[in-house]
Amino acid sequence: MGNYYLAVDIGASSGRHILAELKNGRMELEEVYRFQNGMQERNGALCWDHEYLFREIKNGLKKCKELGKIPQSVSVDTWGVDFVLLDQEDRVLGDTVGYRDSRTQGMTEKVETIISQEELYQRTGVHWQLYNTIYQLEAIKETHPEYLEAAESILMTPDYFHFLLSGEKHMEYTIASTSQLVSAASGDWDWELLDLLGFPKKIFRPVSMPGTVAGHLRKEVQEEVGFDCKVVLPASHDTGSAVLAVPAKGEDVVYISSGTWSLMGVERKEPDCSLESMESDFTNEGGYDHRYRYLRNIMGLWMIQSVKKELTEDLSFGEICALAAKESIASIVDCNDESFMAPKSMTKAVQDYCSRTGQQVPRTTGELAAVIYNSLAKCYADTLAHLEENTGKHYDTVYVVGGGSKAGYLNELTAKYTGRRVSAGPTEATAIGNLAVQMLSDGTFADVDAVRDCIRQSFEIKEW
Ligand code: LFR
């Protein structure tokens, strides 16, 4: 009988169940289940389907049972900022609206009448993003105050799934930090800020640290999936998990967690909540072991994923990259332009941007992809320059982890634009980081350095 751990890693476009086993000091992974995800329009808003997602979480658990590989623990990680409000009977209040929905339009201005952006940054260390939990809650306060009144608890997305699995409500630190409501200094909710904003404090539970054992599978879940195991809180923000799996030694390491988003930054012991840092668009997200992820959010592969969906031919990402590599179009877009956040057509949004800025308009799939990939790589180079300025350090290698690290063409461009060595992999970084915390939680590894050593020895890393 093996000693298995199970990561449920849910991204914006798909989810997967990955089993890990330690064999001769190496982590061996097996993907046992995969499912689709995405925001769909419901009642005029872009929403996640939590019921579907929870069914799929259980389907993946059933698959483990079928394989006879029963994990000793399971942990869920997801994207950041989204949440549910629950009433007295633990029913979700309202729709499970996702962060790309436009309900937060105008909410920055509302919040600014209460507290300035500068003060918010100094208190939370988290950079302004229109979709942050703070602005979503403000939108609810404006349009559905009755939900806030009826709410007994708030849970971030992975907290909610941990609750459905175990029956225990926890608010895990790394995902909580994405809300822009956690104090960078204390690591707990900024209770004073919650008061100022008029968000009911009683719905927020004190923050729990990754590695906390939430409990065991609820009886009904056990009966349905056919076994019991522990439910452990990982670094349940996917980026928090991914960064744990960066296969590098030492402190001065630049990473890009590359998926739907590209998150580029460094790990630090102290947050930088200065105004200079705020002005250069860096955020301080909470990490495992009170480490901060000092990083910039870059629109990432969302742009190419969206273009791919709009194609009439069925091309793989590899084929799209091959087409792009043949093109010489020099147009560059600002990947973080708001027009790329949730356009009806990404193809048109990229074309419009190029036309607006007097650049050659991409027409073919290859041209479109070339513009997107080159723009991303250029954005990485600009971000690296800012990082070096803000930290006063030089970084000779860029570590790309996550699904996007498979894109050889983009890695090549990243090396070209940054002029640095690029290390690519592991591709399953998020699941690996999720599993790492389970293994830290039960004492299999003593600390982050030990688990990162194991990760380095276990997975294939490529260099450019
Ligand atoms: C990546 C990610 C980013 C966060 C964005 C929205 O999947 O978690 O870190 O900024 O999604 O939640």
- Note the pLDDT tens digit of each residue in 32-55: 999 999 999 999 999 999 999 999
Can you give the pLDDT at residue 447? 95
Atom of ligand 1 nearest to the CA of 260: 7
**Nearest-CA neighbor of 61 among 234, 209, 216, 245?**
216
Rounded to whole angstroms, how far apart are CA atoms 86 and 92?
5
Atom of ligand 1 nearest to the CA of 79: 8
Average pLDDT over residues 343-361: 98
Ligand 1 pocket, 236 CB below 6 A? Answer: no
Ligand 1 pocket, 99 CB below 6 A? Answer: yes
CA of 132 to the centre of ligand 1 (A): 10
- Note the pLDDT tens digit of each residue in 365-408: 999 999 999 999 999 999 999 999 999 999 999 999 999 999 99
**Band of residue 162 on the pLDDT scale cut at 50, 70, 90:** very high
φ/ψ (deg, to 5) at 13: -110, -20
**Nearest-CA neighbor of 243 among 205, 318, 295, 199?**
295
Ligand 1 pocket, 98 CB below 6 A? Answer: no
Can you give the pLDDT at residue 464? 87
Atom of ligand 1 nearest to the CA of 237: 8
CA of 250 to the centre of ligand 1 (A): 25
Ligand 1 pocket, 37 CB below 6 A? Answer: no
Q: Name the residue with tokens 């399953």.
A: 428
Ligand 1 pocket, 272 CB below 6 A? Answer: no
CA 234 vs. chain centroid, Å, equals: 13
pTM of the model: 0.96
Ligand 1 pocket, 79 CB below 6 A? Answer: yes
User: Which long-range contacts does 342-348 make (Cβ < 8 Å, 24+ apart)?
Assistant: 342/46, 342/100, 342/101, 342/102, 343/306, 345/310, 346/303, 346/306, 346/307, 346/310, 347/307, 347/310
Report the catalytic residues: 238
CA atoms within 13 A on the CB side of 326: 8
- Note the pLDDT tens digit of each residue in 245-261: 999 987 789 999 999 99
Percent above pLDDT 70 for the chain = 100
**Band of residue 126 on the pLDDT scale cut at 50, 70, 90:** very high
Ligand 1 pocket, 395 CB below 6 A? Answer: no
Rounded to whole angstroms, how far apart are CA atoms 302 and 428?
18
- Note the pLDDT tens digit of each residue in 71-117: 999 999 999 999 999 999 999 999 999 999 999 999 999 999 999 99
Do 4-232 and 248-425 agree at the fold level? yes
Residue of minimum CA distance from atom 7 in ligand 1: 79
CA of 161 to the centre of ligand 1 (A): 17
Q: Flag whether pLDDT at 200 surpasses 80.
A: yes
Contacts with 140 (C-beta within 8 Å, 6 or more apart), sequence order: 85, 94, 147, 148
CA of 262 to the centre of ligand 1 (A): 9
* CB 111, CB 43: distance < 8 Å: no
Angle (nearest 5°) at CA 169 between 167 and 171: 150
CA of 235 to the centre of ligand 1 (A): 13
Q: Flag whether pLDDT at 1 surpasses 60.
A: no
DSSP β-ladder status, 230-232 and 71-77: parallel
Q: Flag whether pLDDT at 221 surpasses 80.
A: yes
ipTM summary value: 0.97
Percent above pLDDT 90 for the chain = 98
Rounded to whole angstroms, how far apart are CA atoms 242 and 434?
8
Handedness of CA 107, 110, 113, 114 (dihedral sign): negative
Ligand 1 pocket, 238 CB below 6 A? Answer: yes
Residue of minimum CA distance from atom 2 in ligand 1: 79
Q: Flag whether pLDDT at 345 surpasses 90.
A: yes
- Note the pLDDT tens digit of each residue in 19-36: 999 999 999 999 999 999
* Burial of 127 per CB tally in 10 Å (0-12, 13-18, 19+): buried
Residue of minimum CA distance from atom 8 in ligand 1: 79
- Note the pLDDT tens digit of each residue in 308-342: 999 999 999 999 999 999 999 999 999 999 999 99
Atom of ligand 1 nearest to the CA of 257: 1
Atom of ligand 1 nearest to the CA of 129: 10
Can you give the pLDDT at residue 251? 77
**Nearest-CA neighbor of 235 among 162, 301, 296, 129?**
162
Ligand 1 pocket, 163 CB below 6 A? Answer: no
CA of 417 to the centre of ligand 1 (A): 24
Residue of minimum CA distance from atom 10 in ligand 1: 80
**Domain extents in the chain:** 4-232, 248-425
Can you give the pLDDT at residue 208? 98
Rounded to whole angstroms, how far apart are CA atoms 29 and 21?
7
CA of 81 to the centre of ligand 1 (A): 7
3-state SS string for the chain:
CCCEEEEEEECCCEEEEEEEEEECCEEEEEEEEEEECCCEEECCEEECCHHHHHHHHHHHHHHHHHHCCCEEEEEEEECCCCEEEECCCCCECCCCECCCCHHHCCHHHHHHCCCCHHHHHHHHCCCCCCCCHHHHHHHHHHHCHHHHHHCCEEEEHHHHHHHHHHCCCCEEHHHHHCCCCECCCCCCECHHHHHHHCCCHHHCCCEECCCCEEEECCHHHHHHHCCCCEEECCCCEHHHHHHHCCCCCCCCCEEEEECCCEEEEEEECCCCCCHHHHHCCCEEEECHHHCEEEEEEECCCHHHHHHHHHCCCCCCHHHHHHHHHCCCCCCCCCCCCHHHCCCCCHHHHHHHHHHHCCCCCCCCHHHHHHHHHHHHHHHHHHHHHHHHHHHCCCCCEEEEECHHHHCHHHHHHHHHHHCCEEEECCCCHHHHHHHHHHHHHCCCCCCHHHHHHHHHHHCCCEEC
CA of 157 to the centre of ligand 1 (A): 12
Contacts with 291 (C-beta within 8 Å, 6 or more apart), sequence order: 267, 268, 269, 448
Atom of ligand 1 nearest to the CA of 297: 10
Residue of minimum CA distance from atom 9 in ligand 1: 239
* CB 396, CB 404: distance < 8 Å: no
CATH code for residues 248-425 = 3.30.420.40
Ligand 1 pocket, 83 CB below 6 A? Answer: no
Atom of ligand 1 nearest to the CA of 285: 9
CATH number of 4-232: 2.60.120.650, 2.60.40.10, 3.40.605.10, 3.30.420.40? Answer: 3.30.420.40
Residue of minimum CA distance from atom 12 in ligand 1: 80
Q: Flag whether pLDDT at 2 surpasses 80.
A: no
CA of 261 to the centre of ligand 1 (A): 6
On average, the pLDDT of the chain sits at 97
Ligand 1 pocket, 80 CB below 6 A? Answer: yes
Average pLDDT over residues 286-291: 94
